[in-house]
Amino acid sequence: MGKGASIFLCLAVAALITLGLVMLASASAKWDYSVNQYSYLVRQAIWLGIGVAVMTVMALMDYRILQKLAWPLFVMVCIALLLCYVPGIGDAAKGENRWIVLPVIGRFQPSEPAKLVIMVALASWFAKYQAETKSFWRGFVIPSLILGVPLLLILFEMDMGTAAGLGAAGLIVLFVSGTRMRYLGTSAVVTLILAFQMVRNNPNRWERIIAFMDLEEYKEGRGWQQWLATQAFGNGGPNGMGLGNGVVKQMNLPEHHTDFIFPIIGEELGVFVTMGVVLCFVVIFLIGLGISMQASDRFGGVLGIGITSALIIPAMMNLGVTTASLPNTGLPLPFVSYGGSSLVFSFAMVGVLLSILRRSHTADVTEMPAVKQKVLEVRL
């Protein structure tokens, strides 16, 4: 895996980005702004430029620098997540404290860089203590705390979707790093029980679950968003209604330019394009997995697995929600949905993957046993 892999990875990302911009332009036809009808498209294009620059820097940089910066970055991310709760800095919307407001940058979502930083911290830990991954404390308890502290901060922001996706990615990292299955199994069961209790005790989220079970019955209430999404796919059929001709967005489908952009793609461009979106994420997954298995050291291998999981799991969750295969939760579709924080740090993660790939053929001889051990663990 070499130059060809990087080309296919960049092509898959470029296809998703292009589609996202096209659909934002289509969505803009619905909005009537007296100043700039295409303000969302312009903003996304600006964030795209920043994201490409960040990806380039990360790709050219030696990813092993991140191992040295893991703990300062981890502390900074936790502080940023805490700032979401500080009046005057945190920017609450719809009862959720997901954002902070920064000078110059503006509205910013700390959970997006947290995805990358958590994976860097976990990879750094397992690279340092690779001989103790089967132990209870260094193989399970401390890595669980590294994952759990920022996850709890995200969860209490009422961002259960991001917490679930990131938690699943973290468990995959623990699994491939060698943490004992009995520890992971027990923690997964306990987490699911606690998550169920949280949802059950939250009327808003529990109503979403009930509505998900029968969208037709609740289409005038909590099931409205997902029911409209299913109608969009039905309207589109194989070939779509044509770009800009979708009717569901005219019926005020909530978040049709962010979390629910995928049904608009299906309605206007048809099932073949939606399958193309899925194919792009499959390509990203396969190349990310291949990069991880060929990494020159354990840190790069574990980091590659973590980044790939952090990109793909939220994407699959978004596709599941928008096709009414999963209960409704707010998650953007990476590279496609509108949103600066998500776009920039998704590019950053791709840049790190490219950096790992560029250095996968320059391993020191002393590092090669760790590579072999890591490959076996991934296969298990």
Give the tens place of pLDDT for each residue, 348-361. 999 999 999 998 86
Predicted confidence at residue 37, as pLDDT, reads 62
Tell me the range of 89-103, 154-168, 267-281 where mean pLDDT is highest: 267-281
pLDDT in tens, 118-144: 999 999 999 999 889 999 999 999 999
State the average pLDDT over residues 289-301: 93
Band of pLDDT at residue 244, cut at 50, 70 and 90:
confident
In this prediction, residue 4 carries a pLDDT of: 83
pLDDT value, residue 223:
87
Using one digit for the tens of pLDDT, what is the confidence trace for 213-240? 988 888 888 888 899 999 999 999 999 9
Q: How far apart are CA 285 and CA 62, in angstroms?
A: 22
Whether residue 174 is predicted with pLDDT greater than 90 in this model: the reply is: yes
User: Looking at the whole model, is its pTM more than 0.85?
Assistant: yes
Highest mean pLDDT of the ranges 26-30, 89-93, 194-198, 268-272: 268-272
Contact criterion met (CB below 8 Å) for 235 and 267: yes
What residues have CB less than 8 Å from 22, skipping those under 6 apart? 243
**pLDDT of res. 345:** 96
Residue 326 structural domain: 3-379
For the chain, the domain total comes to 1
Spatial neighbors of 252 by CB under 8 A, at least 6 apart, are none
Q: What is the pLDDT of residue 380?
A: 40
Burial group, residue 271, by CB count within 10 angstroms (0-12, 13-18, 19+): middle
CB 28 within 8 A of CB 41: yes
User: In the prediction, which pLDDT does 33 show?
Assistant: 52
Residue pointed to by tokens 């928008």: 322
Residue 363 pLDDT greater than 70, yes or no: no
317/37 Cα distance (integer angstroms): 30
How far apart (Å, rounded) are the C-alpha atoms in residues 351 and 332?
20
CA distance 60 to 199: 43
Angle between helices 271-293 and 298-322 (to 10 degrees): 160
CB 324 within 8 A of CB 251: no
Token pair listed for 276: 């193309």
**DSSP element (H, E) containing 108:** strand 106-108
- Max avg pLDDT among 99-108, 171-180, 246-255: 171-180
- pLDDT score of 184: 93
- Judge contact between 293 and 144, C-beta under 8 A: no
